[in-house]
């Protein structure tokens, strides 16, 4: 019980910081006209996605802590599984599109407004959401159609698809093949696009003669890379690990990192490493001094 209280407080703080940080980030990208750019359009999509992602995982867990009942209905489990998969899959695609956006902005700045126009940005974002939602639907339906026998206790803090799959008593080879194909499409392939984009970006940064220009470009990319390494690293260790390596406790920790910690760190990382975001936050504080009590001001 004492450990549960500590976990509850930590997860509650993590959830509240995630909500506050991402809501603020969405607000300043909408209110500040200087942030009406493709990069911040994708960033606001990422923030909106992270709010749903964290809510789908942490809210039921926090409710269970308060109520003392560690039960969930079949429909509730299916809903939680779908939203967790959908948001995670969408983030995989969205992070790679953000890398492509940075590649065009830094490596081809003169054509950037033409290539990444408003219509293209909306189409790319919509494609990311559709890909994530459709692949999640396929995975969720495939798993929940299987028969569960014996214990119905899920050894996890959410209805995570791998934990639910352990309860199935029939052949799961077809479902595992589906999950493998989707995992390869959503993890290594976006990572390949991301690595290629940043290889060109790094090459261009090294050729930038202006110290300020190079520093600004590197700062923006460093923030993105921090998020990418944390998110993709934990996701890869979860869904593409060798079958011989199977530790449920490690899986729980990894799930908590990419479902709770990463969404919390996203707005913090982008705010601290991005000068435009910090300027927008300062403008918001000047317009509404009451926000100063909610938003800690970082040194430029």
d(CA 77, CA 206): 49
Domain coverage including residue 105: 1-287
What digits encode the pLDDT tens for the residues 154-184? 888 888 888 888 888 888 888 889 988 998 8
Domain assignment of residue 296, yes or no: no
Residue 40 sits in a domain whose CATH number is 1.20.1070.10
Q: pTM for this structure?
A: 0.83
The reported pLDDT for the residue numbered 300 is: 43
The reported pLDDT for the residue numbered 242 is: 65
Alpha-helix runs per DSSP H in the chain: 2-31, 38-67, 74-107, 112-115, 118-144, 161-165, 173-186, 188-207, 211-239, 248-256, 262-273, 275-287
**The total number of structural domains that make up the chain:** 1
Ranges of the chain with pLDDT below 50: 290, 292-293, 295-296, 298-300
Domain assignment of residue 148, yes or no: yes
Q: What are the backbone angles phi and psi of residue 168, rounded to the nearest 5°? A: -75, 135
Domain assignment of residue 80, yes or no: yes
The reported pLDDT for the residue numbered 226 is: 75
14-52 residues labelled b (16+ CB within 10 A) or e (exposed): bbebbbebbebbbbbbeebeebebbbbbbbbbbbbbbbb
Domain assignment of residue 85, yes or no: yes
Question: And the tokens for 5?
Answer: 């209280």
Residue 168, Cβ density class (10 Å: 0-12 exposed, 13-18 middle, ≥19 buried): middle
The reported pLDDT for the residue numbered 209 is: 56
Q: What are the backbone angles phi and psi of residue 131, rounded to the nearest 5°? A: -60, -45
Domain assignment of residue 298, yes or no: no
The reported pLDDT for the residue numbered 151 is: 76
Domain assignment of residue 297, yes or no: no
**Which residues contact residue 50 at a Cβ distance below 8 angstroms, ignoring those fewer than 6 apart?**
18, 22, 87, 91, 262, 263, 266
User: Whats the size of the chain, residue-wise?
Assistant: 300
Domain assignment of residue 169, yes or no: yes
Domain assignment of residue 147, yes or no: yes
The reported pLDDT for the residue numbered 293 is: 47
């Amino acid at each position: 019980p004492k450990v549960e209280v500590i976990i509850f407080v930590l997860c509650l703080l993590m959830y509240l910081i995630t909500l506050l940080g991402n809501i603020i980030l969405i607000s300043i990208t909408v209110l500040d006209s200087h942030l009406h750019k493709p990069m911040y359009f994708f960033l606001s999509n990422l923030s909106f996605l992270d709010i749903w992602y964290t809510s789908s995982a942490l809210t039921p867990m926090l409710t269970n802590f308060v109520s003392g009942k560690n039960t969930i209905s079949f429909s509730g489990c299916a809903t939680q599984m779908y939203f967790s998969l959908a948001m995670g899959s969408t983030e995989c695609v969205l992070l790679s599109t953000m890398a492509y956006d940075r590649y065009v902005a830094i490596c081809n700045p003169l054509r950037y407004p033409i290539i990444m126009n408003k219509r293209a940005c909306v189409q790319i974002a919509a494609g990311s959401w559709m890909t994530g939602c459709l692949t999640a639907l396929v995975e969720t339906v495939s798993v929940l159609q299987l028969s569960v026998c014996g214990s119905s206790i899920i050894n996890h803090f959410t209805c995570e698809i791998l934990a639910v799959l352990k309860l199935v008593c029939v052949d799961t080879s077809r479902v595992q093949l589906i999950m493998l194909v989707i995992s390869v499409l959503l993890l290594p392939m976006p990572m390949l696009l991301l690595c290629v984009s940043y290889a060109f970006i790094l090459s261009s940064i090294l050729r930038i003669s202006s110290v300020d220009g190079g520093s600004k470009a590197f700062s923006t990319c460093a923030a993105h890379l921090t998020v990418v390494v944390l998110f993709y690293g934990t996701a890869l260790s979860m869904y593409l690990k060798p079958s011989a390596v199977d530790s449920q406790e490690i899986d729980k920790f990894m799930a908590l990192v990419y479902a709770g910690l990463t969404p919390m760190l996203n707005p913090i990382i982008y705010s601290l490493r991005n000068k435009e975001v910090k300027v927008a936050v300062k403008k918001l504080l000047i317009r509404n001094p009451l926000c100063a009590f909610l938003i800690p001001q970082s040194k430029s």
